[in-house]
Amino acid sequence: MLMSILCYIAAAATEPAIPALLKLMLDSGFNPQIAFPLWMVPVALVLLFLLRGLFGFSGQYLLQWSVSKAALLWRKDLVSALIRADASLYQRMSPGTAVSKVISDPNSALSLLSGAMVTALRDGLTAIFMLGYLLYLNWQLTLLSMTTVPLLGYVTRRIHRRLKRVGTQTYETQLRLVNVVDDIARAWRVVRTFDAAAFEQQRFAREAERLRSVTMKTVAASALMSPASQLVSSLGLAGILTLAIVQARQDASTVADFVAYITALLLMVSRMRHLTELTQPVVNGLITAQGCFSLMDEPPEVDTGTVELSTCRGEVRFEGVTVRYAADAPPALHQLDLSIPAGHSAALVGSSGSGKTTLTNVLLGFATPQEGRVLIDGIDIRDIRKSSLRQHCAVVSQDIVLFDGTLADNVIYAAPPDLVRVEQCLRAANLWDYVQSQPAGLDTLIGTNGSKLSGGQRQRLAIARALYKNASIWILDEATSALDVASERVVQESLATMQQGRTLIVVAHRLSTVRDLDTIFVLGDGHLLEQGSHAELVQAQGTYAAMVRAQRDGAATLA
């Protein structure tokens, strides 16, 4: 950055040489009494512009190199802030907005601001050097010309306020338009299933029209800057020209002095006009940068733990746990007590809203109990570092999330590669036959979020990823809901074989998938209603038995 500024200073320093050469030529070149080699003027001009071009190129290249480096570091910081942000951010910020703030906004902000910086360095420094030359030629007139600066500053400030207001509206409207496109791209099946193409086109058109409207307001405010500044400058220039002519007559100044002064003044005014046009890119760049900084200012996930779990047996115990998502909301979990011994398998069953997902969120550190505590191997999870806690947990959620890459990439995800283990996990998830059927095998690309796979294949790949993690606690949230009966049976048998001392927690609505587990916990409205084995709960003729009968009767009716 320093070298870039020095290059721009050197380029700007050559500008006053133009009127100086012109003055020398008029003073000496047209005077027959002075022996003056006229060929020196064009040679000097060529060398002058050569130096200006060399310094200008070097300055711009070095500045853009610094800007690209800054953009790289900025994006890294933004991604870091996004990854470490509190979970509430993902409820407030859409994926499209996140992508815009991390990918396009830094580039847009830095492009606008770096362009403004180039103009400020090139034209600002040139104006400063030219001002110095004008003071040298005639300091009285030059100081007088500065009287228009306050008026020019007032006009610029008024337009700047307008640009800032409409620029913020433009940025927010553009983010909404990005979110509309993101919705269409992610939900294309829903759009076509509901025959909603016309609806989405209208929704896009409304936001696009709003963007066009606020953009034109920005254009109008920006376009007003140039004529307003030129009008103010012309008033000062007209006065200076008049006074310069009067002074030249009284002081018997030479034509060369007058021409040199007016040329230098016009060159300085031209540079200053370029500076007044910086308002729009600077305002837009700062507004865009502010959006990025707002992401960086998001509070990170709170982690008060200090304990590192070097090993984990997988014992889980809830003691009087109460969780509320809002102070005035009913508890999602209320005074919950349950215990899962290390290496045992347990099921969480109950109707929607009974607290099953909240329980797993608490176990993973995504929700914090207001009362009670959760113990892993006898240690309160609030004392355990969340990263350490999650290293010992593997999760397969009902909403499968896969990454754009290969089959192997998704199985190995964030772990050391071991192709033998990859094959073992894919076999256990009943997906190895599919892998062998693909020409690229493990290197088969699966598309964005597994778009090239069927629903069952996506679920089995997520199961393989969880198995590969080799964690002490497995949490399966409706992990086999998209599988056919035969595939589900194969996966369950593989899970039973590979469990081998690990703690398995299964969230299920289909009760046939949990009847062989060690313990079944029945939840309702955040309370623990029953617990026991399948046989014990059926014999007790309580809530679980009623759920079993309801599912059996429903299956019989469908049959």
152-200 pLDDT tens trace: 777 777 777 888 888 888 888 888 888 888 888 877 777 877 788 888 8
Determine the Cα–Cα distance for residues 94 and 109; give it in Å rounded to an integer. Answer: 21
Q: Which residue has the higher pLDDT, 234 or 514?
A: 514
Whether the pLDDT of residue 388 is over 90: the answer is yes
Provide, rounded to the nearest whole percent, the portion of the chain with pLDDT above 70: 92
Task: Considering only residues 387 and 501, tell me which one the structure prediction assigns the higher pLDDT.
Answer: 387
Residue 36 in this model has a pLDDT that exceeds 60: no
The pLDDT of residue 71 is above 80: yes
9-31: average pLDDT: 69
More confident residue, 372 or 61: 372
Tokens of 140: 């009285």
Of 15-29, 372-386, 475-489, 511-525, least confident by mean pLDDT is 15-29
Confidence (pTM): 0.72
* Domain range annotation of the chain: 2-296
CA–CA distance, 51 with 66 (Å, rounded to integer): 23
Tell me: pLDDT of 360 over 90.
yes
Tokens matching residue 451: 């778009």
Alpha-helical regions (H) of 353-454 = 356-363, 386-391, 407-412, 419-428, 432-437
User: Which residue shows structure tokens 């507004």?
Assistant: 287
Q: What is the overall mean pLDDT for the chain?
A: 84
User: What pLDDT was estimated at residue 422?
Assistant: 94
The pairing of beta strand 473-477 with beta strand 316-323:
unpaired
Give per-residue pLDDT as tens, 255-310. Answer: 677 777 777 777 777 777 777 777 778 888 888 899 899 999 999 988 888 999 98
CA distance 356 to 358: 5
Give the model confidence (pLDDT) of 396-450 as tens digits.
888 888 998 999 999 999 899 999 999 999 998 889 999 999 999 999 999 888 8
Q: Which stretches within 414-513 are classed as H helix? A: 419-428, 432-437, 455-469, 485-499
Strand (E) or helix (H) holding 554: helix 543-558
Q: Mean pLDDT, to the nearest integer, of 322-351?
A: 92
**Quick one: tokens of 501?**
């001392």
Model confidence pLDDT, tens digit, residues 442-500: 999 998 888 899 888 888 899 899 989 889 999 998 877 767 777 777 777 777 777 77
Give the CATH fold of the 2-296 domain. Answer: ABC transporter transmembrane region fold (1.20.1560)
